[in-house]
Amino acid sequence: MIDTKLYFIAGVFIFCLMSCKKPPRNYYADQNDPGLSRLTSYGYNIATNYINGIAYINPYNNPSYFGLGGGNVIPTLSRIIGSGTTDDTLALSWPVEANNNLQSDSYLYISILMPVSKGLTENNFAALSGERFDSNTNIISLTSYLADSYYNYYNYPTYSDSLAYTSPRGPSNIYFVNISMSPSGDLSMAGLFNGNIGDTTITNGRFDFYLPSSYIHF
Amino acid sequence: MIKSLTILFCFILLSFSIKAQSYLGLSTGIAKDVNDNPNETFYHIPVTLQWKPFWSHYNPFMMELNYDIPFTGSNTAIAYTLNPSLPASVQLQEQIRPYVFTASIGMGWRTIINKERNNILYFGAMTGICNQSFYVNYQHYDKVNYEILNPDVNSNLTSLVLIGEVAYKFHNNMIIMLRAQTPLVDESNGSYPLSYKDVAPLQLTFGYNFYYNKGHIDERRRKKRRIRYDRY
């Protein structure tokens, strides 16, 4: 009887192992921009850009046992409440790594910050679909975390809270090519971005995100 | 059921022309994709080369090479830019050219429609390997400033296909043929979605059959007749 149970458990275990399937990376190389993904709107949760000519991408987490979790790191979308009558700031943030094993990771995190009126709702945000914001209006800015902030980066409780960390910032352009919201409040967004922080230039940025409502903090 | 099918098969065989011959056929015409491509229908100029190497109608083996030269299909795409001095988005004309090459083997049967004029109807059922190469080009695309949303890319697909054809031989070995080819058995094109899918050409072609081994067959027939006459 015990042997039968053991065989059954072993069988289930083997079946579970065989049924494990890693979530896809969904990286499809852009033929015109080496190291970058194509501009897509399929909810692939992929973002790529050049930083001083080096291609960066959001990381991929390997799934845990039985294929649970894992996949491309999903960004956070947070609203930082401004003090008093100051406008709030919308922050779209994700970690990055060099998309080339030959390059070291000089930058760990990108945040796109955008001043928004108080009381912004998800519907207001979805209405930004098709809007292009340029850096001359100073509506948005780009933040990157330097390698020496590694300690701070991993000691913040959540990614969105890391925005409190003082980092180099500069003007940025952003274009929300497409934003759509599901009835359950999940957001899909695709767009372009670039910017510069002093001598550091961020170019050819493109993102294709699918954010479950739990990742949207407003 | 099997018995009925056997009888039907024998009936078809017996209805064949006694003038079985080897031939090489060359034809061309027009082809239309019937695989319900979502954004457009592809058209081709097909060139078909058929070879039936054995003269015996008891050996219906035949081979075929088919190459489809595409008319350029068109679609639209939208490209976006961050450059504030340029329009935020532009519409682009997308050109898609699917080249299709198929090498197939199978069986061909025939039946006489008009014995005096030697008009013959051929039926063919084949299976083959098909390669489809799609070339995508965006006209007037400013690659430096603009990014295309969900761009199509070139692709190359190879898989099995099934082919059915009906041909009519008339007036001095001229031939008119209707040929249908299935989509690729394995249509998978990777996981990246494209606006097009593989093509299934339906062809109407016109050409010429070059018969050979005719003398050999006639000699056999003459020998048979001689034997028959000698009996009487």
- How many angstroms separate the CA of residue A60 from the nearest CA in chain B? 18
Contact A24 B143 (CB under 8 A): no
pLDDT at B66 over 60: yes
The reply to whether A37 touches chain B by the CB within 8 Å rule is no
Please report whether residue B141 resides in a domain: yes
Full-prediction pTM beyond 0.95? no
Q: Which residue from B80, B143, B191 is facing A177, i.e. has the nearest CB?
A: B80
Cα torsion through B186, B192, B196, B197, rounded to 10 = 0
pLDDT at B8 over 50: no
Residues of B whose CB is below 8 A from A47: none
What does the alpha-carbon distance between residue A77 and residue A91 come to, in Å, rounded to a whole number?
A: 6
What is the pLDDT at residue A70?
82
Contact A39 B143 (CB under 8 A): no
Q: Return the percentage of chain A with pLDDT > 90, whole number.
A: 32
CATH at B124: 2.40.160.20
Q: Where are the domains of chain A?
A: 2-217
Assign B39 a pLDDT band (cuts: 50, 70, 90).
confident
What is the DSSP secondary-structure string of A66-111? GG-S-EEPPPEEEEEPPSTTSPEEEEEEEE-EESSTTS---EEEEE
Helix, strand, coil % (nearest 5) of chain B?
15, 55, 35
Q: How many CB atoms lie within 10 A of CB A61?
A: 12
Q: How many CB atoms lie within 10 A of CB B185?
A: 11
Contact B153 A40 (CB under 8 A): no
- So what's the ipTM on this one? 0.83
Residues of A whose CB is below 8 A from B138: none
Contact B147 A39 (CB under 8 A): yes
From A161-170, B59-68, B175-184, B192-201, the region with the lowest mean pLDDT:
A161-170
Assign B218 a pLDDT band (cuts: 50, 70, 90).
low
Residues of B whose CB is below 8 A from A24: 191
What is the pLDDT at residue A102?
66
**What mean pLDDT is reported for chain A?**
79
What does the alpha-carbon distance between residue B138 and residue B120 come to, in Å, rounded to a whole number?
A: 47
Q: What is chain A's alpha carbon radius of gyration, rounded to the nearest angstrom? A: 20
From A1-10, A182-191, B129-138, B221-230, the region with the lowest mean pLDDT:
B221-230
Question: Burial, B163: exposed, middle or buried (Cβ in 10 Å; 0-12, 13-18, 19+)?
Answer: buried
What does the alpha-carbon distance between residue B80 and residue B86 come to, in Å, rounded to a whole number?
A: 10
pLDDT at A127 over 90: yes
Please report whether residue B3 resides in a domain: no
The tens digit of pLDDT for each residue in A11-48 reads 666 655 555 667 888 999 999 999 999 999 999 999 99
A71: β partners: A61
A178: β partners: A190
Residues of A whose CB is below 8 A from B151: 38-39
The tens digit of pLDDT for each residue in B92-144 reads 999 999 999 999 999 988 887 787 888 889 899 999 999 999 999 999 999 99
What is the pLDDT at residue A104?
65
Task: Compare A6 and A122 and report the one with higher pLDDT.
Answer: A122
The reply to whether B118 touches chain A by the CB within 8 Å rule is no
Helix (H) or strand (E) holding B214: helix B214-231
Q: Return the percentage of chain B with pLDDT > 90, whole number.
A: 62
- How many angstroms separate the CA of residue B142 from the nearest CA in chain A? 11
Task: Compare A144 and A93 and report the one with higher pLDDT.
Answer: A93
**Domain residues for B49?**
17-231
Please report whether residue B11 resides in a domain: no
The tens digit of pLDDT for each residue in A82-126 reads 777 777 888 888 888 889 766 666 777 888 888 888 888 899 999
The reply to whether A179 touches chain B by the CB within 8 Å rule is no
The reply to whether B119 touches chain A by the CB within 8 Å rule is no
What number is the average pLDDT over the span B168-190?
A: 90
What is the pLDDT at residue B225?
60
**What mean pLDDT is reported for chain B?**
85
Please report whether residue B30 resides in a domain: yes
What does the alpha-carbon distance between residue B222 and residue A72 come to, in Å, rounded to a whole number?
A: 78
Q: Return the percentage of chain A with pLDDT > 70, whole number.
A: 72
pLDDT at A191 over 80: yes
The reply to whether B84 touches chain A by the CB within 8 Å rule is yes
pLDDT at B7 over 50: no
pLDDT at B155 over 90: yes
In chain A, how many H helices and how many E strands? 3, 14
Q: Which residue from A40, A175, A190 is facing B88, i.e. has the nearest CB?
A: A175
pLDDT at A157 over 50: no
Main-chain dihedrals φ then ψ at residue B99, nearest 5 degrees? -95, 130
Contact A134 B150 (CB under 8 A): no
What number is the average pLDDT over the span B148-157?
A: 95
What is the pLDDT at residue B11?
41
What does the alpha-carbon distance between residue A119 and residue A4 come to, in Å, rounded to a whole number?
A: 62
What does the alpha-carbon distance between residue A159 and residue A170 come to, in Å, rounded to a whole number?
A: 20
What number is the average pLDDT over the span B77-95?
A: 95
What is the pLDDT at residue B13?
40
Looking at the structure of chain B, the number of domains it has is 1
What number is the average pLDDT over the span B165-179?
A: 92
Contact B27, B2 (CB under 8 A): no
